[in-house]
Amino acid sequence: MTWLHTPRVFLAPGLVLILVAIGGRFTLDRAGYTDLAWVDLRVIGLLVALAVLIVDITRRPSSQNAINKREGWLVATVLFFLFQIASGLWAPAASRVGPQTVDLVLMGALVVAFYLYAVGDPELVVRTAFLLFYLAAIVFALAALFVNGPGEQGRYSAFGGGPNVFVRIEILGIISAIALALFRRRLWPLLATPLFGLAAVLSGSRAGLLAGAAVGAVALFKIRRRLHPGAVAGALVFVAVAVATIWAFAPPAFTSLFQERFVEQTVQDRYLSDRTDIWAAAWQLAVDHPIAGAGLDGFYGLVGVNQFVEYPHNYVLGVAAEGGLIGIGLLTAAVLLWATTVRGGGHRPRLTGLAVAAAVFVGLSSLFSGDYYDSRLAWLFAAMAAAAAVVPAHTLEEVPA
């Protein structure tokens, strides 16, 4: 009997962890149970996932658990999260330290847990993750179009999340469709991309679309020498058909949203949703508290509480304002160590590259919108990319029981 007679990793931990990550902040009051508003389903889901993950890890061969995986980036990431949590000790009185601490604890646990899960079988875990995100993008898009509809600003989203989170799910759906098409060597996963594109545009998130376009442009530049004229022509035809399909089947609000949000506000009025003023306030806070920052949620405690702004809408500026040079230093160390780990793709270049693209997309989006917890998908894909890069294929070969 060999180890390969049973799955290398259980499906349950990854399924629950991804559901927790996609679900966002979900307490039972959002489902209508106001008396149970204190029940955070993220905590319950994470505890279930960790219990199954522990069983999954203990059944792995000792030779697999003992390999050197170059995990310096993970150590730096955990230290960064711990510093952010500790900075709540010197946060202003109006700061929401409790909820922010819960977010950071859950995000740190999510990243560590998913990395430990992914190293068990990076090939299977990353492929399954892209399939789940592909399905999630379909569900979110259909829910936005046929259930939730447009919000007050005419922007679409689903399941109570904001448009800027919604667009990330849809662009990740496009990346996942490309990944599945490459894995299966079939074109059918790409058939859903017009739906994802339509939903992404209807979100009205200019930053999310720009980040997706930037990642796509860099990916095309990297593979430019491997592109064949026939493939390029086919892709152009597909894009033309997709655009025509979107235009033909889009709801009536599509034209007005596109005209108002992308043409009038962005091109003509150069309206940036007050982002420049918010960023300037965050930068000034970083200058005023250069070493250790203003403390966890210090931006809200000192600025946002008076100006009705929840957070700086820029992940790096938020870290600088609330964590100072120490926070920026730890974040920089984590990112650089991770970049070194995944550079060149390691043992699985294609798999690593796709996960890196997803992580970079969410990371770029976080420079324009969202708080700390909204960056969780970037860290999750970063963990998958690192696992795919560092685990040698021979460790997953048949091992005697």
pLDDT along the chain (401 residues), means of 10: 58 90 75 66 91 89 62 95 97 93 95 94 94 96 87 81 90 95 88 89 86 88 69 68 70 61 51 77 95 95 87 95 97 97 90 96 93 94 95 61 37
Count of Cβ atoms closer than 10 Å to residue 400 Cβ: 7
User: Exposed (0-12), middle (13-18) or buried (19+): which is 321, by Cβ within 10 Å?
Assistant: buried
Task: Compute the C-alpha angle 82/356/347, nearest 5°.
Answer: 105
The residue type at 58: T
| Ordered DSSP codes for 349-391 | HHHHHHHHHHHHHHHHHTTTS--SGGGHHHHHHHHHHHHHHHS
* Residue 272 backbone dihedrals phi, psi, to 5 degrees: -120, 30
Torsion of CA 246, 249, 252, 253, to 10 degrees: -40
- For the chain, the structural domain boundaries read 3-393
The per-residue pLDDT for 262 is 56
**In whole angstroms, what is the distance from residue 173 CA to residue 141 CA?**
10
The answer to whether 14 and 126 are in contact (CB under 8 A) is no
Count of Cβ atoms closer than 10 Å to residue 273 Cβ: 13
3-state DSSP helix/strand/coil % of the chain, to nearest 5: 75, 0, 25
Total-model pTM: 0.88
Instruction: With CA atoms as reference, report the closest residue to 76 among 293, 359, 332.
Output: 332
The answer to whether 330 and 83 are in contact (CB under 8 A) is yes
The per-residue pLDDT for 77 is 97
